[in-house]
Structure 1
Amino acid sequence: MKGGISWRLGLALALSGVLAAGLTGYYAYSASRQLLVSAAEQRLVTATRVLVRQLAVGLDGTARDVLMVAGHPGAGRMLLRTDPELVARNETTLAQLFRQMLETHPEYFQMRLMDAANHGLERVRVDRDDIGVTRVQGEDLQEKGHYPYVYEALRLGAGQVYVSRAVINHEVGAHAGHGKPALEVSAPVLDPHGVALGVIVINVDLNGLFGQLAADLPPSLQLYLSNAQGEYLVHPDRSKTFAFDRGQSSLVQDEFPGVRELLVNPPAQDEQTVVTRSEGSDASVQVAAFVRQPATALKAEEDFVLGLSQPLSEVLSESDSLGRMVLRIVAAFSAMAVLLAALLARALTRPLAQIVRAVEGFVGGLRSDELPTDRRDEIGMLARSIEHMQLQISGQFAKLAQKQHELDHLASHDSLTGLQNRRFFMDRLDHALAHARRDQGRLAMLFVDLDGFKEINDSVGHAAGDAVLKALALRLRHLVRESDTVARIGGDEFVILIDQVSDPEDVDVVARKIRDALAEPVQWEGRELRVGASVGVGRFPEHGQDAETLMVAADQAMYRAKSGGGGLICHAEAPPRRLP
């Protein structure tokens, strides 16, 4: 009873220690994961705000470039058309200026000067193409007065800049910018009285602009950009960008539901930030921060929503080392608790544990010497009873093993001669045929029937017949190789499997030895008993491809030898012949 209480007490102590260590480790691990997520969100917010400011700075830089060119004296003089020679020189000067600006700014893929008096006709145009920067002249110049970046800019005053919506550039003859996402930044060219003479337009490569912004970002961060409706303009999956241009819908608020607040309630002047997570399975969840671009001095058709995300799994991967450390601590304290409980249980219940080990070690009737039989209490009585039981079981196991051995021998051997029986022989024959087929080998089977054996049984008696069978079985066993098989399959019928035959003549040699050996007399109670032997020979593969066919072929050959007068050796499917 004390032992049971000790075990329960030790188990309670062990469970208490393991539970305390486990709960402490779990809460420490959970708190660390929350801290990591919070820190990652703050980093994303900071990085997103920096990118938004860089975007604003980039657009402001483009606006300054547009205003600088729009205020260039040559632009106004060329559009006034006062002197043709002066107009030509100004065109050349502006074209060189456009070329230098495109070469300096890889995110620009087109600069143009539009004439307000001729429906927005391009007067000076420089494009970026696949091989570099080129000037477009003559009939390739187009009228663009129907585009917002022309007529909206013509309405602006001095120092004002127009920024278009981000769209896919479908304008014909746009060279490198065709089919790519673009922004048009434009400003009016004014005469001294403030009248708009034309428009300076810079086409900005949106991918190039954001490629520069994302160049210094870690590879694990993903960049997103949408317009004020939430339609993707930049996304890691290119198939989701500008889906509206293809008549499809791909919205940031569908992937990151928290962004809907930015779109519904845009900020007035101060930037507004939202921290959210993407929808999906645990393995694909993204932690993200989005900022909507606040209003600037630029006259933009719509705001931008810019965001950065990082896989939640990567954020939490930093907690793996802490988790492993916590796990080691929990495992150490748990092991200590279990060890103390085990020591207490061992000290209080050692004799019972000794008996348990003895019983567990008693396998297959083996006797164990670990029982505490020298004790004089109830445990000693139990140990001595178990020892007595072990002795009885060991005896029963020994008898059972002996019986099993005898049964196994009887199942595969002839009880009179000790040779293998028919069932065992057929199994060996199947295996030998399988090996011969696989290795393209040869084998032979001899079917032996004794001549004159029935007369000995009838005239001398069955005891004499049994003695003859035993003696002849012993001779057959000595005449063949260890790899060959001899079996008795009937009263006076024997079969011999000769494996791995290299020369058919060797089979005939063995058959003659068997026939001659069986013809030798057998001594029994002072008498000489004689029998003969008729032998049928079947060979694989000539006379059969399987065990049954080969057995039947050899049996038929034996019967031909028998019908030929006995003492003959006949091959399957061959007429009887007497070997010399």
Structure 2
Amino acid sequence: MKLGIAWRLGLALAAVGVLAAGLTGYYGYSASRQLLVAAAEERLLTATRVLVRQLAVGLDNTARDVLLFAEHPMAARLLARSDPALLARSEVNSALLFQRMLATHPEYYQMRLIAAADHGLERLRVDRDNAGVLRVAEDDLQEKGHYPYVFETLALPPGAVYVSRAVINHEVGAHAGLEKPSLQVAAPVRSADGQVLGVMVINVDLDRLFDQLAADLPPGLQLYLSNGAGEFLIHPDRSKAFAFDRGQSALLQDSFPAAEALVKQQPGLPGQLVTSVEAGVDGAAQVAAFVRQPIAGLRSEEEFILGLSEPLELVLKESEHLGAVSLRIVLAFSALALLLAALLARALSRPIAQIVLAVQRFASGRQEPGVLPLERDDEIGVLARSIDHMQQQIGAQFDSLELKQRELDHLASHDSLTGLANRRVLLERLDHALAHAKRNGSRLAMLFIDLDNFKEINDTLGHAAGDAVLRTLSQRLRLLVREVDTVARMGGDEFVILLDHADDPEAITAVAEKVLESLVQPVLYGGAELVAGASIGVSRYPENGSNATELIAAADHAMYRAKSSGRQRAMFSESDVG
């Protein structure tokens, strides 16, 4: 029996409809997988850049701390040892400063002043051990002149900072840092006439620094860090981290061959790499991103390559739901084509073309994905709405990725506990404010705030109480200043308020008094009233400094004078760059 033209047309249209539905579903499913992989690559690269910035900011903060102590007059007096009357007082004050710095920065485990003379004899050393922070007795001080962080730092010009290689510390006498991943950051100490007297050294516990990097990573991401030669410093398989210290070989370019281009590139040039076909620690396919970042502005023995990877299976997990949706669409449309092809041959041609065009435009990433026949009440409308739903799902995934990226950007610029601007943002705004003030002849002021009784609260009631006090006092500080002013947390219990257009000393004094009055008010916690109080040091531009370092140092010095004068008060800096 021969079929009539209507049946043959109907069957032909049904076959075409089934084929079109299958191709549309497959094309949409394949495109969604490609988009998910591309989005994961971009997300990983963005997250890697943020982590690189965090690592650079951490090292830069340490370098600033080293310079702050190296350029302090007490360091030169201790190393020169020319005035016995001031020597003992300087040793006590410096030791207290070192101890406070170690208490504020848990990643620091040792601070030392080392003389250029006497074979690099340590003049002052404060260590961290299991019992806490302690000053090493004079009889236990050692000669360190044969270590690179001493003799290479002594040869540096003024203001330069030396950063050692990341290694396992085998140096005897390192207390908490012995046999741990370590980094030495050092700067030369000079006398007033420019003579090199010695070096200031801070030893950094890289385990704590690495833990900070990995703390906020989403589940499923794996963190890698290597030096410029590709030797792993961080690896999900801990046996491969610092393998070179054990005489073994575990290289980035062996695990991720495509990363060899980053390892071999010319030192000093930043680079980045994204790959989607490499194998990770378990041999599974990975999406990975790596960034090579030189340490800008520091005299470093090596560079770092930081990377993140995510299993490809996890990246494509969302596509399983999209595949099921696509399959249902194909089956529904195929049934529709078989049943109604003869009656709807002409009616089907236009909406199918619209759907295919819309899917193709969406898969190609165009801003206007095309018009879908959503208003139809038949199966074609169901298909169009399903595709529209699929597009909305993919769009929602992109919105979620953008939200995560904004969260990462916020994390890089704000303190995670208080929500205030962090040190990096403060320094950026301070540089902008100084540039504006220099152009317009205006003034600005900086209030360096240190809580008086925070350590007692933290030690007595625990970190939870301390965190509650910091959050409450941070909110009070934020409400006391104008929108043009900046409130930032420097770390620990130290805060800075940057007042723009601060021309009137009386107005600055009034702000300081408001801050003192606000911070001394009790904080309710667990039914108790916790009173912190604060000491404030004030520096002004241009009276007390012409750059960020000078203003911060002047305010910090004034704050210590306020503390030594009885606390709960504000003092203006007595320094004058003019």
Distance in 1 between residues matched to 2:295 and 2:55, nearest whole Å = 13
Compute the displacement of 1:334 (Å): 2.4
Give the TM-score of the pair, scaled to structure 2. Answer: 0.56
| Matches for 1:11-410 after TM superposition, within 5 Å | 15-266=15-266, 268-269=268-269, 271-277=270-276, 279-280=278-279, 284-339=284-339
Distance in 2 between residues matched to 1:29 and 1:68, nearest whole Å = 58
Compute the displacement of 1:283 (Å): 7.7
1:276 alignment partner AA: T
2:63 alignment partner AA: A
Gaps of 5+ in 1: 344-580
1:136-192: CA deviation from partner (whole Å, max 9, x where unpaired):
113322211111101101111210110000001111121111111111000111112
Partner of 1:186, secondary structure, is strand
Compute the displacement of 1:236 (Å): 1.7
Using a 3 Å threshold, how does the CA distance of structure 1 residues 299 and 283 change in structure 2: closer, same or farther?
closer
Partner of 1:113, secondary structure, is strand
Contact 1:255 1:278 in 2 (8 A): no
Using a 3 Å threshold, how does the CA distance of structure 1 residues 283 and 262 change in structure 2: closer, same or farther?
closer
Greater relative contact order structure (CA < 8 Å, 6+ sep): 2
Compute the displacement of 1:238 (Å): 1.0
Distance in 1 between residues matched to 2:277 and 2:164, nearest whole Å = 30
Distance in 2 between residues matched to 1:82 and 1:21, nearest whole Å = 90
Distance in 2 between residues matched to 1:288 and 1:182, nearest whole Å = 27
1:519-541: CA deviation from partner (whole Å, max 9, x where unpaired):
xxxxxxxxxxxxxxxxxxxxxxx
Percent identical: 68
Distance in 2 between residues matched to 1:306 and 1:299, nearest whole Å = 19
Using a 3 Å threshold, how does the CA distance of structure 1 residues 268 and 112 change in structure 2: closer, same or farther?
closer
Correspondence for 1:556: none
2:174 alignment partner AA: A
1:298 alignment partner AA: L
2:278 alignment partner AA: E
Give the TM-score of the pair, scaled to structure 1. Answer: 0.55
1:141 alignment partner AA: L
Contact 1:278 1:286 in 2 (8 A): yes
Distance in 2 between residues matched to 1:320 and 1:147, nearest whole Å = 57
Distance in 1 between residues matched to 2:132 and 2:33, nearest whole Å = 51
1:385-442: CA deviation from partner (whole Å, max 9, x where unpaired):
xxxxxxxxxxxxxxxxxxxxxxxxxxxxxxxxxxxxxxxxxxxxxxxxxxxxxxxxxx
Distance in 2 between residues matched to 1:278 and 1:152, nearest whole Å = 42
Partner of 1:117, secondary structure, is coil
1:69 alignment partner AA: F
Correspondence for 2:500: none
Higher Cα Rg, which structure? 1
| Matches for 1:425-504 after TM superposition, within 5 Å | none
Distance in 2 between residues matched to 1:283 and 1:339, nearest whole Å = 48
Return structure 1 stretches of 4+ with deviation > 6 angstroms. Answer: 3-12
Q: What CA RMSD, in Å, does the superposition of the two structures yield over aligned residues? A: 2.7
1:470-510: CA deviation from partner (whole Å, max 9, x where unpaired):
xxxxxxxxxxxxxxxxxxxxxxxxxxxxxxxxxxxxxxxxx
Using a 3 Å threshold, how does the CA distance of structure 1 residues 225 and 280 change in structure 2: closer, same or farther?
closer
Partner of 1:194, secondary structure, is coil
Compute the displacement of 1:205 (Å): 1.3
Compute the displacement of 1:278 (Å): 5.5
Distance in 2 between residues matched to 1:240 and 1:223, nearest whole Å = 13
Correspondence for 1:483: none
1:259-283: CA deviation from partner (whole Å, max 9, x where unpaired):
11112123645x3211123533998
Query: Across the two proteins, how many residue pairs are aligned to each other?
Result: 343
Distance in 1 between residues matched to 2:264 and 2:286, nearest whole Å = 22
Contact 1:183 1:204 in 2 (8 A): yes
Partner of 2:236, secondary structure, is coil
